[in-house]
Amino acid sequence: MKIVSTAFPDHGAIPARHTCEGKDLAPSLAWSDVPQGARGLALIVDDPDAPDPAAPRMTWVHWVLYDMDPGSAGIPEAGRPLPPGTREGLNDWGRAGYGGPCPPVGRHRYFFRLYALDTLLGDLHRPDRAALDRAMRSHIVARAQWVGTYRKGGE
C-alpha cells in the first residue's frame, strides 16, 4: 500500500498554505495498492517532535480519520469531500478535522500514516488517537506513510 501527496515530496518541506502560517488547508493525499481484503482505512497525522525536536516530549496529533472507503483514491486539498463512510476523530486541539503544522520551535516532522483494516470500526464517538489505536490494534492488514517537515518562518 502507498500514500503520497502532490503538495510536497516525501520528507520534504510542507508548503505554508497547509500550516497555521497559511490557510491551514489539509494537503491533497492519494493512495494505491490497498489490500483486497481491506474493509476500511484510517489516517493519522502526527508530529513526534513536540514541542522541540531537540528534546521531544510528546507526539502531537493533527488529524484522525477512520472507516474511510478502501475503494477511495484519496483526499483532495482542504480535506473535503472526505471519502464515503469516513468518520472523524479528535486531534490534540480537541476538535475534528485537520490542524496544520504550527511548531513552537525548530523543524518538525509530520507523519501521514494510512492503515488498511480488516473491519469497519463503527461509531467510536469521536475518538482521540489513543482510542483509535486501541480499536485498530488487531485489525491492521497494511500500512503506509508519507512524511513532511515544517519550521515556522521557513529556514
Q: Where are the alpha helices (DSSP H) in the chain?
A: 129-136
Is the distance from CB of 119 to CB of 8 less than 8 angstroms? Answer: no
Instruction: Work out how many domains the chain is built from and give that number.
Output: 1
Q: Report yes or no on 107 lying in a domain.
A: yes
Cα–Cα distance, 62 to 113 (Å, whole number): 11
Q: Report yes or no on 155 lying in a domain.
A: no
pTM of the model: 0.96
Residue 61 belongs to domain spanning: 2-150
For position 30, which CATH number holds?
Answer: 3.90.280.10
Candidates 35, 63, 30, 29; CA nearest to 139 is 35
Q: Report yes or no on 90 lying in a domain.
A: yes
Residuewise pLDDT in 10s, the chain (155 residues):
999 999 999 999 999 999 999 999 999 999 999 999 999 999 999 999 999 999 999 999 999 999 999 999 999 999 999 999 999 999 999 999 999 999 999 999 999 999 999 999 999 999 999 999 999 999 999 999 999 999 998 65
Cα–Cα distance, 72 to 82 (Å, whole number): 9
